[in-house]
Amino acid sequence: MNSLIERLRTRRLASVFVLLATLSVAIVAGSFAAHGVRGQEKQNDSSDATPLKVVNSTVPPNEFVKIAKAVGPAVVNINTQTFPKQSNNKGRRSFHGHVFQQPQSPDDNGDDQGQQGQDQQGQDNFQDFFNRFFGGQMPDQGGDQGGGVQESLGSGFIVDPKGYIITNNHVVEKADKIYVKLSTDPDTQDLGRPARVIGTDKATDLAVIKIDTNTPLPTVKMGNSDAAQVGDWVEAIGSPFALSQTVTAGIISAKNRTIEPGASGQFQHFIQTDAAINPGNSGGPLLNMNGEVIGVNTAIFTQSAGYQGIGFAMPSNTVVSVYNDLISPSHKVTRGSIGIQFREGLSGAVNRVYGFKNGVLVQEVQPGGPADKAGLKAGDIITSIDGRNIKDGDDLVNEIASRRPGSTARLGYIRDGKPVDTTVTIGDRDKVFANLTGPQMPAAPEEQGDAGEATLGIVVHETPQAMASKIHAQGLLIESVRTGSFADLQGLVPGLVITHINKQSTATKAEYDAIVKKLKTGDDVVFEVIDPRHPEAGINYIGGTLQ
């Protein structure tokens, strides 16, 4: 038995040696094939290879090519510079070089604002993934308060040959300097042509800026966003990552997307698209296959700060309406309001108990507001306006907001199960909303006006005596600060009290008006302010050069 096992082992070893020998011969043969007999490398012979030639044929341009050529010259690159300044940015966060207000608690959502019962943590997490655009902060610059000049990049498009341009508010918000570069401007022109802000609207995140020109500029055509359909092809043009005149294409993925809860999303009903949109595209056009602008690229939903196939554009029909208001003498968007609060997303149980399928259940009525004067009460269910049935809160908000303050509307509502109707006079949403959410400010006499609103961008009122006693000083209370204004850029905020301007007392409105009327471009303006919430901090000095 042992001898048999030994013979088998011997045969296995012999087979292995034969296999190794065979492999060795193959390797040696391959080596000789690759090298000459004397070990020198053999020259490769490619005499039988045929040289390549470029085929001189033309591909008919498709619609994307035609649109890019036609619209491209009207799409601009926007550069902004923000200088370091003393400001109070508490409660704000920076996304890619732009500063945004933190999502606010829905407790104070006013007039026609659907209140959302969502906790703050949930909103913060959502905001972390939903980034507005932006144009990124340049990598060699410091942080928000790091002391360096912040440079940001965005896009826009020309709508008037005289140099009027539409872009996003967050592209130019807080900027001290704005520059616009046309597609025909030479690369040697570092930043571009100086631009100024004509008007902004935070509610829709839109802005109108203007550059001076001696010759008519190319413009875009505004299309009808209501006619656009899910599945339609669209094309986006902009400057992602500073790469100007970048063209991407996709389809309309959805319409009427509201992506922020509460008051911040009241007037933002976006077109969703999968056309590639990235940092720097913000403010650029979204075009249909007729080469017409049907949206302004505004935001993306992303977990990587880059393109993930979900972008949002403000519909052109909204853009046109806002633009027309911003180029008006007031340079602001005026929206109607009736002074109510309501809650969106009510359960079916609420509808059944209160006896309605469509409509708006009033949660709170602002005392002294338009709805209060018309007799509406909490618990009423608004079902119609001027005979047209109201579907939900968005429907009511859009209808009321589109009407001018001072006009009237007939509201149908249900109270205690019985249909009732009343006539309401539409109010100014900004004023009603300020009453609902802001500190109670003493009203200024209409005939006084405000000399600082045009020059400085602020509205002030004389400080109530109780507050003056608390801060041990006389001054003027800031009621509102216009976005992008001189006062806004210096860091002034509502609620501060101005006691002096350029060392001159502003104890009375007359003193303030006299000082402000003398100010002109190039003057240094220094405010001495006190925060009534922290009077112990004393006087704060805030100022800059009037541009």
Say how far apart CA 112 and CA 133 lie, in whole Å: 28
* 75-82 vs 150-160, strand pairing mode: antiparallel
Cβ-based neighbour number of residue 246 at 10 Å: 20
Residue 155 contacts residue 297 (beta carbons within 8 Å): yes
Cβ-based neighbour number of residue 74 at 10 Å: 22
Q: Tell how far CA 357 is from the center of its chain.
A: 34
Residues 6 or more apart in contact with residue 305 via CB below 8 angstroms: 96, 131, 279
Q: Indicate the helix (H) or strand (E) that contains 15.
A: helix 2-34
Q: Is the dihedral of CA 526, 528, 531, 534 positive or negative?
A: positive
The residue count for the chain: 547
What positions carry a catalytic annotation?
170, 205, 282
The helix/strand/coil state of 476 is: strand
Structure tokens at 47: 């005499």
Say how far apart CA 162 and CA 12 lie, in whole Å: 94
Say how far apart CA 66 and CA 291 lie, in whole Å: 8
pLDDT per residue as tens, the chain (547 positions): 555 445 555 555 455 444 444 444 444 444 444 455 455 556 789 989 999 999 988 888 899 999 999 999 999 999 998 877 544 433 332 223 232 333 222 223 344 433 333 334 334 333 333 444 333 333 333 334 445 677 778 999 999 999 999 999 999 988 888 999 998 888 765 778 999 999 999 989 999 999 999 999 999 999 999 999 999 999 999 988 888 899 999 999 999 988 776 666 778 889 999 999 988 899 999 999 999 999 999 988 877 767 788 999 999 999 999 999 999 988 989 899 998 888 666 667 767 777 777 888 888 888 888 999 999 998 888 999 999 998 888 889 889 988 989 999 999 999 988 899 999 999 988 887 665 544 444 333 333 345 678 889 899 988 888 888 888 888 999 988 887 788 888 888 888 999 999 989 999 988 998 999 888 888 889 899 998 888 887 888 888 888 7
